[in-house]
Amino acid sequence: MKIYLFRHAQKAMDFSGDPDLTAEGHAQASKLLDKVLKKELPTPTELWVSPKKRTHSTFRPLAQHFDLPLQNTDELLEQQGDENLSEFRSRIEKLFERLAENKKAVVFLCSHYDLVVEALGVVPSDKDFSDSEYSHWSPCQYVGFEVRNDGVFEFIEFKKVHL
């Protein structure tokens, strides 16, 4: 199984609490689809998103092209106000444990800055993500893993969708 974790594309600045993407963000979402069509990324079999508009908009071109539903889950939300860091990390660990059970899937996850940074600290990976290179995530940046039979998340790549 493969898991690709994405930070959503560039979000608009508004005070709604749930902004959509900017024009550049929508272009990044289209470019993400192009990367899959050019075989620079694998074709997803599942698309998981947080309930926020920006994650849905990031994966919408993929969903439409491959006729895949956007699987909406609160597990991909950023840290909640009533959730301490230990609870947040535990939520992420449980999500990735559950994902690793599906051995044949290629799952794309779209989430938020704080979740992707914390995920790198809790996934059982063969790579040390404590280096500062992995502490900053630009919009539409992603990390890919191959989940081995022993449950280790083998690092594939860490890249950004460039326009």
CATH number for the domain that contains residue 32? 3.40.50.1240
DSSP string, the chain: -EEEEEE--PBP--SSSS--B-HHHHHHHHHHHHHHHTTSSPPPSEEEE-SSHHHHHHHHHHHHHHT--EEE-GGGSPPPTT--HHHHHHHHHHHHHHHHT-TT-EEEEEE-HHHHHHHHHHS-BSS---SGGGT---TTEEEEEEE-TTS-EEEEEEEE---
> What are the per-10-residue average pLDDT scores of the chain (163 residues)?
97 90 97 97 98 98 98 96 96 94 92 95 92 89 94 94 85
* pLDDT on residue 17: 85
Task: Give the domain extent around 26.
Answer: 2-160
* pLDDT on residue 16: 84
Instruction: Tally the domains of the chain.
Output: 1
